[in-house]
Amino acid sequence: MPSVLILNGPNLNLLGQRQPQVYGHTTLAEVEQQCREAAGPLNLEIQFEQTNHEGGMVDLIHAARGKHQGMILNAGAYTHTSIALMDAISSAELPTIELHLSNVHAREAFRHQSYIARVAIGVICGFGPRGYTLALEAMADHLAEKDP
């Protein structure tokens, strides 16, 4: 069964408490539960992770190489700044979907820039927690097309 790493970056541990007017009331544990429920019928295994540390994210992406078949990445603010994450994704050679809860393009100009998008197969943003299950569906389709 194909396996997907769902990796969440800085401040996403505070989901549900942090700026609920922007990010909603759902907690990260609830998002993980929704992902686990969605993954089974899509025939995907998942590993769900969160870290506030850029280097820790790089390590998890390196460890995903050869272990997982795809990655769904909400890199939080590192999306807009991290060449290190972009390089890690290129090195891991894993199809990656960039994900954001909020519509970053409707927000401040500094959120319009993404280093992740350059190396992602696609981007989902603006649909809140539903974005995670949309991304799992898109990843399942992508992996089935690659390896029917």
The contact set with ligand DQA (CB under 6 A) reads 11, 74, 76-77, 79, 100-102, 104, 111
Q: Catalytic residue, from 23, 78, 115, 132: name it.
A: 23
23 a catalytic residue: yes
Nearer to ligand DQA, 2 or 76 (CB): 76
Q: Catalytic residue, from 68, 78, 100, 132: name it.
A: 100
Nearer to ligand DQA, 26 or 69 (CB): 26
Nearer to ligand DQA, 1 or 109 (CB): 109
- The CA distances from residue 20 to 9, 12, 82, 127, in Å, are 17, 12, 25, 14
Q: How far is the CB of 81 from ligand DQA (least distance, A)?
A: 10
CA distance 11 to 33: 19
Q: How far is the CB of 45 from ligand DQA (least distance, A)?
A: 23
CA distance 2 to 44: 5
Nearer to ligand DQA, 70 or 76 (CB): 76
DSSP-derived secondary structure for 48-111: EEE-S-HHHHHHHHHHHTTT-SEEEEE-GGGGGT-HHHHHHHHHHT--EEEEESS-GGGS-GGG
Q: How far is the CB of 76 from ligand DQA (least distance, A)?
A: 3
Q: How far is the CB of 4 from ligand DQA (least distance, A)?
A: 18
- The CA distances from residue 55 to 10, 26, 35, 88, 93, in Å, are 11, 27, 25, 10, 18
Q: What six digits make up the tokens of 104?
A: 């970053």
Q: What positions carry a catalytic annotation?
A: 23, 100
